[in-house]
Structure 1
Amino acid sequence: MNSANGAAVVVGVDGSEPALRAVRLAAAEAARRHRPLRVVHAFIWPLLRVPVGPLTGAPPGGGLRHQAEELVERAVAEAEATVPGIRVTGEIIDGEASAVLLGESPAAAMIVLGDRGLGGFGALVIGSAAVQVATYADCPVLVARGEEHPDGPVVVGVDGSPASRAAVEFAAEQAAVRDTALHAVHAYRHPGSAGPGDMQPLVYEESELRGEEGRLLAESLAGIHERYPDLPVTREVVRERAVAALTAASRRAVLVVVGSRGRGELAGLLLGSVSHGVLHHSACPVALVRTPD
């Protein structure tokens, strides 16, 4: 995550209620981190050569660009009402939604999106734009869905990969700033292969397998206690599909965090059914953390 002084939390808005929910979530996140909030609307119409000003003979307050200005103003007002005194700015940027947000990401502390919406951000979760933003953004991406369970932990999906390590680091920081616990979930279904071309064993001891998976989880959390000595950390090793395990954990969580690349059950997180499962079924907001290149 961009930790430079002044890096803003960026929220994409389109005038929908889910986008306003994202604004409220982003405002709270910016306040916790003592960062400014930047409200951005992707304005695609100039690219399509659609007239954006008032029609001939129409009142001067009409037109697509004026509508965009109004929705940004509403979003800024929503942020200010959520966190009085917050530093917040709004901007309309010509372009397609994912391209606009990816352009914002190098200088952003985080990008926040609604789970569905209208116009420029309408397909961010269920379509290709979400994959593009979460896969290529240079900062974590937070999707506002479900509800934050304020007494719950920050849940993180762990599979031992570099991506899940980045997710653990981010989740621990999130738990610390929220003054709540970290709950690490490792889901497995069968023994993993040691390398390319290795065959999985036909017979294995369940207790030994569970012990190995538990050690993998412990290794993934190494160093967290030293950096956050007061952070309560719980572990869960479960023989289950990752989507089911994380969805179940989300029902009592304030946030679910997953890495954007992984192996095993989390390997296809942003490319297939696991990503859609977590984003569509989580009962709380979801953060996606990309492994640094």
Structure 2
Amino acid sequence: MNTWTRTGPVVVEVDGSTDGLRIVDYAAREALRAGAELLLVAPYHNYPAYAPMMPLYDPQGAAAGAEEILRQAVEFVRDEYGADLKVSTTAREGSRLRALQTAARDARVLVVAREQDSGPAGIVSAQGNLALAGRASCPVVVVPARGTPAAAGSGVVVGIDGTPLSLEAVEFAFRTAAERGVNLTVVHSHRHPYQRHVAEKGTWQERAGLTVSETLAGWHEEYPQVIVTRLLTTRPVVAALAHESRQAALVVVGAHAGPLPIGDPVTRRTIAELTCPVAVVAHHVTPAERARWRRTLSSTPDVVCTIR
């Protein structure tokens, strides 16, 4: 089980744009569904009072601008949902990463926008959101600003790889499917592009099925109401997730926790390429996993190279 709070607010980043209000709307619907408070966050930078190239610059303008953005967002939420939803706001000075990380410390989920649609800029934007997910203490949902709303009753999709990286993602996926009353699709891509497993026994379907069964062990008992479909494939995992996401309301993937989650290229591409919201759930390495990793390293035989 993960340690994030289950009763905290739904936190959403507010940037003042028209597309940004769609992200606020998504977060508001999530808060209503969960019966949670909605917290609107506007990060801003406060620059020095005087600069030679900007003699008339007012440093208070940034804070005032953030407060105005929040006021407009609250007005939008009230127009859409009335007084049924509890809404609070906070304008935080500093970098986007630090401001959102601090604001979401006790959150059940943090909602942010995917700023770019595709190409290299999309990968850069996805890396920023991946870094945020690695540092946040709750799952981060990345919503395409121009995405098409999912149909009512659309299910949840989770990608697993058979490693501990998937543990928290599977928990979040089951819990979300149960709360929404929808089905869950588990996708496992059995591909080893850089390895040869000549000693493996059985067909790839049997090995993939065993991996999925081990990953899902115990969750059927925890959430018996969730109908689970297992998808085993040899297609690249991002392609498989993209195909399933066409009929999904949410795709869930894991990521490494920490300040530099650069070792998650699949998660980064998933954030950048999918057209539906993507929930990134960080995995925090446990002491047992760290000890197991150290034992694996220490048991590796020495390699002796002879130069002739």
TM-score grouping bracket, smaller chain normalisation: 0.7 to 0.9
How does 1:184-203 map onto structure 2 within 5 Å? 184-190=186-192, 200-202=196-198
The alignment-based identity, stated in percent, is 33
**Residues 142-291 of structure 1: pairs in structure 2 closer than 5 A:** 142-145=141-144, 146-150=147-151, 151-190=153-192, 200-202=196-198, 208-261=203-256, 271=263, 273-291=265-283
RMSD, aligned CA? 3.1
Partners of 1:284 and 1:291 lie apart in 2 by 22
Unaligned runs of 5+ in 2: 286-308
Specify whether residues 275 and 191 from structure 1 end up closer, same or farther in structure 2 by C-alpha distance, changes over 3 A only.
closer
User: Residue type of the partner of 1:184?
Assistant: V
1:261-285 CA distances to partner (integer Å, 9 max, x unpaired)? 39xxxxx986454233211221210
Deviations 1:12-67 (A, max 9, x none): 111123321211111111111111010000011x1x3257xxx9999xxx944332
Q: Which structure: larger Rg? A: 2
Q: 4+ residue stretches of structure 1 with deviation over 6 A?
A: 55-58, 122-125
Query: Against the structure 1 CA distance between its residues 261 and 67, is the aligned structure 2 distance closer, same or farther, given a 3 Å change threshold?
Result: closer
2:212 is aligned with what amino acid?
L
TM-score, normalization by structure 2: 0.78
CA distance in 2, matches of 1:4, 1:164: 19
Say if 1:128 and 1:50 are closer, same or farther in 2 by CA, change over 3 A. farther
* 1:178 to 1:254, Cα distance in 2 relative to 1, 3 A: same
SS of 1:80's partner is helix
Query: Please, which runs of 5 or more residues in structure 1 have no aligned partner?
Result: 193-198, 263-267
1:75 and 2:73 aligned: yes
Provide the secondary structure at the position in 2 that maps to 1:218.
Answer: helix
Say if 1:116 and 1:124, in contact at 8 Å, map to a contact too.
no
Q: Which moved more, 1:122-131 or 1:100-109?
A: 122-131
- Give the deviation of 1:156 after TM superposition: 0.2
AA partner of residue 37 (structure 2)? P
Residue 90 (structure 1) shift: 1.2
TM-score where L is the length of structure 1:
0.81
In the other structure, the counterpart of 1:101 is 100
Deviation at 1:142, TM superposition (A): 0.5
1:18 match:
19
Q: Contact 2:43/2:66 (CA < 8 Å) preserved in 1?
A: no
Q: Look up the SS of the partner of 1:259 in the other structure.
A: strand
Aligned 8 A contact 1:143 1:286 in 2? yes
What is the aligned residue count? 269
Tell me how far apart the structure 1 counterparts of residues 76 and 263 of structure 2 sit (CA, whole Å).
Answer: 33
Match of 1:136 in 2: 135
CA-to-aligned-CA distance 1:210-253 (integer Å, 9 cap, x gap): 21111111221112221111111111000011111111111110
